[in-house]
Amino acid sequence: MAPSVVLVTGVAGQLGGGLAARLASDPSIDRVLGVDTTPPSRDMRRRMGRAEFVRVDIRNPLIGKVISTAKVDTVVHASLSGHPSASGGRSMMMEMNVIGTMQLLAACQKSDTVGRLVVRSTTSVYGASPRDPAMFTEATEPKALPPGGYAKDAVEIEGYVRSFSRRRPDIPVTTLRFVNLIGPRADTAFAHYFSLPVVPVVLGYDARVQLLHTEDALAVLERATTQDLPGVFNVGADGVLMLSQAVRRAGRVALPIPEPLVPWVGRITRRARLVDFSPEQMRLLNYGRVVDTTKLKTEFGFEPRWTTVQAFDDFVAGNALRPMLDTDRYVGVAESVALRAAHVLPGHLLPGHGPREPEAPGRPPEIETRTTPALTPVR
């Protein structure tokens, strides 16, 4: 059944606002309501078109009145937050995530009109540890439950959603577990992390990174809103990137940090407002996490347009990230030094760079030399 009146939470954010804009452009939907505690930006409000903004805190029972008055038949809960600084601190973020979800589910349970619920979740519910499987399916139990933060909020939220499904089995529920989002306009912790001129990495680790383009994320949310597709789905792009590969593709400089100093570096970056990385995201940089998206393609019927590599390259191009160092120049210097050493030390020749045949009998071979460029990074 196609939706008639849709309520979207978190429209001040990129996903919630972008979804409201897409739904507002669909003529088959009669009305789109966007709720949040803060108004969307001017640009987002313009993109939302005919969507109506209602300033309401979902932690307040007033959200139930909004649903009943407007006769909402589809609710999309897209306001899950993973940024404590943007939410007013960790305690406030927990209240918005957990308490807000509880109030929203209570309002949906009491409603006589709500017939579909879509919940944005995260693959952080699987945690990150050295004992993780190569890929997580929707049925895989995490080896270690997240001890706190954004990931723990997501685990609690999914528990409340399952309880809601038992109390209201007549309302189909779609839970979407997103991997980390990236894209030209992505305002995420990963986007800020790879935009740093010097990227801190954990010494001795090279995590596997799976990403999803923000446009693919919006397309998944739109499909879940307009069609009956109940269930839990991992949402991620095909392929992975090693963290070291991602740093190089972004033209950044990696700064290896010993593991005991990682929490200290995380606090420094948060206080300097460079990047707000939570402890669970720090563990992700240690061990990585990859999810299986077979169910997304076969049951949900969605194939991501961008692979992980393509999504990351689009982020780099869209933000015009330039290499911090002229790597080609340094490679040229290294080759020159290696060639000279190869000619000086017999038996240590590089492949493809052997000595030339003598031009005349008795004449020693000429040694090719090249000028060493100055070791000055490009500004």
pLDDT value of position 82: 61
Percent of the chain with pLDDT over 70: 82
47: phi then psi, degrees, rounded to nearest 5? -70, -30
Q: Answer yes or no: is pLDDT of 320 > 50.
A: yes
* Top-confidence residue, 274 or 232: 232
- Residue 84 confidence class, pLDDT cut points 50, 70, 90: low
Contact 3, 21 (CB under 8 A): no
pLDDT value of position 263: 79
pLDDT value of position 95: 85
Contact 182, 212 (CB under 8 A): yes
Contact 275, 196 (CB under 8 A): yes
Average of per-residue pLDDT across 30-51 = 95
Rounded-to-integer distance, Cα 268 and Cα 255, Å: 14
pLDDT value of position 262: 82
165: phi then psi, degrees, rounded to nearest 5? -65, -35
Q: What DSSP character marks residue 235?
A: E
Q: What DSSP character marks residue 120?
A: E
Q: Please count the other Cβ atoms lying within 10 Å of the Cβ belonging to residue 138.
A: 18
Helix (H) or strand (E) holding 286: helix 279-287
Q: Answer yes or no: is pLDDT of 344 > 50.
A: no
Rounded-to-integer distance, Cα 8 and Cα 295, Å: 25
Q: Answer yes or no: is pLDDT of 304 > 50.
A: yes
Q: Answer yes or no: is pLDDT of 175 > 70.
A: yes
Rounded-to-integer distance, Cα 80 and Cα 15, Å: 10
Residue 103 C-alpha from the chain's centroid: 27
Average of per-residue pLDDT across 87-106 = 84
Contact 202, 255 (CB under 8 A): no
Q: Answer yes or no: is pLDDT of 377 > 80.
A: no
Q: At 189, list the tokens.
A: 């912790």
CB-based contacts of 25: which residues, under 8 Å, 6+ apart? 49
pLDDT value of position 2: 84
Q: What DSSP character marks residue 26?
A: -
Q: Against a cut of 0.85, is the pTM above it?
A: no
Average of per-residue pLDDT across 63-86 = 87
Average of per-residue pLDDT across 351-379 = 45
pLDDT value of position 325: 61
Rounded-to-integer distance, Cα 21 and Cα 24, Å: 5
